[in-house]
């Protein structure tokens, strides 16, 4: 048996002190008797395969037993003192195609006791020890996310945060011997300038940075927060939950971590005024493959930018659009920057739809080739639509051939299902109710397929027996994410159980009796392929940190170590914990990201003594209503209420021409909470020429309210041509307050003698005081009149005034202004 880790010693010492036998709960009476000392687990491992971390008290608890016996076998669950606390018999499962093993299933899910140091004994064989605890996944949630901090480029890794073994100077900042990432030239013939592309995460075991891998990994981290927020479990991934430099800043730590990569992704965008402006460079890495081992700050090679690609550009568009949606409550300016980058990337990709990354570009780094980008177009359109509600992105979603197709497995080169997940789960997406229902059904159907695959195997893995390819463990984790999404959409426990059983496989219930996560399990990977966590090559360097996730079995045997040592292996056994086996044992950000997502899902727990308050969901979040006509908004609840809930829908601010004319009172029952009901908003016919906006609230006792915005599309005579320009700028924001400056410019050819500026806030901002203008506010509508001395504006002249206000939620900027009744640009 390999040397015990510190974590293992701590857990087993605690187990030895536990002493008293635990009594089974929810089982038929089981004699609690002393037992003979368990048989030692050999280095090759027991035939009893368990999740070596453990099991949740309210989750599935299953193990696989390797045995050719044709009759059921007796099993005992023993506590740390060796006393049996539950018993039963196995179910014969037979041959497992991927491993070649004859298998039985031992199911001890009915046991709900807790503790450390449990073992499962079957046919004289004893499993590795494991825990049963509601807090089981708390450590893995933190460590799997902490992985990304330690993969950061361009920042010193702090011993106080990462531990002394992992502390290191910043890499690739241009400090000798680094050439640095602060001024990186393109490969010959790609561009004639250099770019500052510092920061971001090193992609995998090498020190390259790849936009297509960064995009999906960032999306998964941010989506883990989005999902937790919807479920009411965001405290577990909130501020000060990770050891990152930004902790304590009021922003959830997982978003702080993802921002490190988002800043890098936006730096990879081709600047304005350059050829292919708005596109994203595909990757940046050393001119030749970085030697192993090499610490980042000691890398002396020239770094190079590689040709922009449509796939990279759409990864930027998708992840930046998601950023604009999720970061807005924490940093409105950063969210706005993300949205601007996303829009420019989308426009550039539409103009350059077939700039494909070639397979031949593999010197010094992975090619990450992709000859099909319809999936990236769909994903980016879905994210932009979910964030903006704009027609151009909706049309790109609904016109895609992928929109009606079945849900497929996702990975960095196939991202359509990321868009489907967003459309199905983000509140307020404005697709028709039947369209949303179809997408949700597609996702649950895919989840059912994975559950069926698991049910037909000896080790319950959500990939087929021929699916053990490079990074197979990430396929397991990604597919388990889809199963977990089905649980969010339906609340059906079989989906939660399926996602948790996928974690069982990754943590030891597999053909090799091997946990693929460093630091988690008695027999865990510790020599993953990496340039500076390279203890196997250099004893002065550390093993990978706890929470690092190995790629997993790969029947392709695509490296010399695997070829030499794994010839003839069954697909599920084609893995070796050796630093040289990059095809089975590398780490990667897009592998750790779904592991972190799953760990956060598994770690989430709520106060079950308190009823869950459902949230009202309104879709679309913004609707346009033609003057004299109406439009509909679909309203539903996010989960079943304990009793009937009456949702009242009413205008809370804005243009009084907009009103609810049907569906002002909706009743949702515990049975029909998921069925969308229609609200009709109408715009009165009048003579004014303004496109008014109003905010509506939908809420009631027993449900968390939602808001949506309606904008009137005026059909009266258009106002005069614009002869003014208005710049609205937030100068400072804190908590629920802000200061801002508005600047009015006369862009016409004649003098303005006295000006009155008007706008309508899209949110609930309230101005409390102003200077250099007289400002009044009615609801969301604001009127600012010159102060006299600044009322005359010559052609080209400007006047500025400032004000202070309060808000809650998102401090979204107004976009439409009028001066003296005329619309401004």
Q: Which residues are catalytic?
A: 206, 529, 577, 586
- Non-local CB neighbours of 825 within 8 Å, separated by 6+ positions: 722, 724, 725, 747
Distance CA 455, CA 463 (A): 11
Residue count of the chain, please give it. 825
CB distance 708 to 389 below 8 Å? no
Q: Could you tell me how many helices (H) and strands (E) the chain has, helices first?
A: 16, 37
Report d(CA 245, CA 256) in Å as an integer: 9
Helix, strand, or coil here: 539?
A: coil
Distance CA(317)–CA(350), nearest Å, equals: 11
DSSP 558-615: -SHHHHHH-TT--GGG-----TT-HHHHB-BHHHHHHHHHHHHHHH----TTSPPPPB
What would the two tokens of residue 213 be? 């891998």
Burial 666-702 (b: 16+ CB within 10 A, else e): bebeeeebbebbebbbbbeeeeebbbbbbbbbbbbeb
CA nearest neighbour of 606 among 61, 230, 66 = 230
Q: At what angle do helices 332-351 and 310-326 cross, to 10 degrees?
A: 150
Q: Do 548 and 532 touch, CB atoms closer than 8 A?
A: no
Sheet of 766-771, strands arranged across? 724-734, 737-746, 798-806, 766-771
What would the DSSP string read from start to end of 308-323?
Answer: EEHHHHHHHHHHHHHH
Residue 574 · residue 553 · CB < 8 Å: yes
In a 10 Å sphere around its CB, with 0-12 CB exposed, 13-18 middle and 19+ buried, how is residue 229 labelled? middle
In angstroms, how far is the first alpha carbon of the chain from the final one? 72
What residues have CB less than 8 Å from 441, skipping those under 6 apart? none
- Contact indicator for 551, 583 with CB cutoff of 8 Å: yes
Say if CB 800 and CB 741 are below 8 A apart.
yes
Q: Is the dihedral of CA 322, 421, 372, 208 positive or negative?
A: positive
Write out the two tokens for 594. 């779904």
The burial class, CB within 10 Å (0-12 / 13-18 / 19+), for 325 is: buried
Q: Give the residues across from 817 on adjacent strands.
A: 759
CA distances from 80 to 64, 118, 130, 134, 709 (A): 21, 5, 9, 18, 59
| Residue at token pair 């889809």 | 482
Would you state the structure tokens that stand for residue 472, as one six-digit string?
Answer: 């197979």
């Amino acid at each position: 048996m390999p040397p015990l880790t510190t974590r293992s010693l701590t857990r087993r010492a605690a187990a030895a002190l536990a002493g008293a036998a635990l009594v089974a709960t929810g089982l038929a009476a089981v004699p609690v008797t002393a037992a003979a000392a368990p048989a030692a687990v050999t280095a090759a491992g027991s035939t009893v395969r368990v999740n070596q971390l453990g099991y949740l008290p309210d989750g599935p608890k299953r193990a696989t037993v390797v045995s050719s016996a044709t009759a059921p076998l007796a099993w005992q669950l023993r506590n740390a003192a060796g006393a049996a606390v539950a018993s039963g018999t196995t179910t014969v499962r037979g041959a497992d195609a991927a491993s070649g093993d004859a298998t039985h299933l031992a199911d001890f899910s009915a046991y709900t006791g807790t503790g450390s140091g449990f073992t499962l004994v079957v046919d004289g064989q004893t499993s590795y020890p494991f825990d049963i605890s509601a807090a089981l996944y708390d450590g893995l949630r933190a460590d799997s996310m902490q992985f990304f901090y330690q993969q950061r480029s361009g920042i010193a890794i702090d011993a106080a945060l990462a531990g002394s073994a992992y502390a290191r100077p910043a890499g690739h900042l241009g400090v000798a011997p680094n050439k640095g990432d602060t001024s990186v030239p393109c490969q010959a013939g790609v561009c004639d300038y250099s770019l500052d592309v510092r920061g971001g995460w090193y992609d995998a075991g090498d020190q390259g940075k790849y936009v297509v891998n960064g995009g999906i990994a960032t999306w998964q981290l941010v989506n883990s927060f989005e999902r937790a927020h919807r479920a009411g479990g965001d405290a577990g991934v909130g501020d000060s939950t990770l050891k990152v430099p930004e902790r304590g800043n009021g922003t959830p730590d997982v978003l702080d971590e993802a921002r490190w990569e988002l800043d890098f992704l936006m730096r990879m965008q081709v600047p304005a005024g350059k050829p292919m402006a708005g596109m994203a460079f595909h990757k940046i890495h050393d001119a030749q493959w970085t030697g192993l081992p090499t610490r980042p700050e000691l890398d002396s090679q020239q770094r190079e930018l590689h040709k922009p690609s449509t796939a990279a550009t759409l990864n930027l568009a998708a992840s930046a659009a998601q950023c604009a949606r999720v970061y807005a409550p924490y940093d409105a300016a950063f969210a706005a920057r993300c949205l601007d980058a996303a829009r420019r990337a989308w426009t550039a990709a539409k103009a350059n739809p077939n700039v494909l990354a070639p397979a031949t570009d593999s010197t010094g780094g992975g090619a990450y080739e992709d000859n099909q980008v319809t999936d990236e177009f769909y994903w980016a359109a879905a994210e932009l639509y979910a964030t903006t509600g704009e027609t151009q992105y909706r049309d790109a979603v609904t016109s895609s051939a992928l929109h009606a197709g079945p849900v497929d497995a996702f990975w960095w080169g196939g991202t359509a299902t990321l868009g489907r997940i967003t459309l199905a789960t983000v509140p307020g997406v404005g697709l028709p109710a039947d369209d949303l229902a179809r997408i949700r059904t597609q996702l649950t159907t895919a989840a059912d397929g994975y559950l069926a695959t698991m049910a037909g195997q000896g080790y319950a893995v959500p990939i087929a027996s021929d699916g053990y390819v490079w990074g197979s463990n990430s396929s397991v984790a990604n597919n388990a994410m889809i199963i977990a999404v089905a649980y969010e959409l339906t609340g059906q426990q079989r989906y939660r159980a399926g996602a948790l059983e996928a974690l069982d496989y990754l943590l030891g219930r597999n053909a090799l009796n091997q946990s693929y996560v460093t630091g988690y399990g008695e027999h865990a990977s510790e020599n993953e392929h990496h340039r500076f966590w390279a203890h196997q090559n250099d004893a002065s360097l550390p093993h990978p940190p706890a929470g690092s996730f190995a790629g997993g079995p790969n029947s392709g045997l695509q490296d010399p170590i695997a070829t030499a040592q794994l010839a003839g292996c069954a697909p599920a056994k084609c893995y070796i914990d050796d630093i040289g086996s990059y095809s089975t044992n590398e780490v990667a950000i897009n592998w750790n990201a779904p592991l972190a997502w799953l760990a956060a899902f598994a770690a989430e727990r709520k106060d079950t003594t308190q009823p869950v308050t459902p949230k009202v969901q309104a879709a679309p979040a913004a609707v346009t209503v033609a003057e004299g006509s109406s439009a509909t908004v679909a309203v539903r609840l996010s989960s079943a209420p304990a009793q009937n809930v009456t949702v009242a829908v009413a205008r809370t601010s804005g243009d009084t021409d907009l009103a609810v004319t049907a569906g002002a009172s909706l009743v949702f029952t515990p049975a029909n909470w998921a069925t969308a009901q229609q609200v009709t908003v109408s715009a009165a016919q009048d003579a004014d020429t303004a496109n008014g906006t109003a905010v509506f609230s939908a809420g009631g006792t027993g449900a968390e309210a939602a808001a949506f915005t309606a904008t009137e599309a005026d059909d009266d005579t258009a106002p005069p041509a614009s002869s003014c320009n208005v710049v609205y700028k937030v100068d400072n924001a804190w908590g629920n307050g802000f200061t801002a400056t508005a600047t009015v410019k006369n862009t016409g050819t004649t003098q303005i003698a006295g000006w009155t500026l008007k706008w309508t806030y899209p949110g609930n901002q309230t101005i409390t005081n102003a200077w250099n203008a007289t400002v009044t506010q009615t609801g969301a509508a604001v009127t600012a009149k010159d102060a006299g001395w600044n009322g005359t504006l010559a052609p080209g002249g400007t006047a500025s005034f400032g004000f202070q206000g309060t808000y809650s939620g998102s401090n979204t900027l107004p976009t439409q202004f009028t001066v003296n009744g005329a619309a401004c640009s």
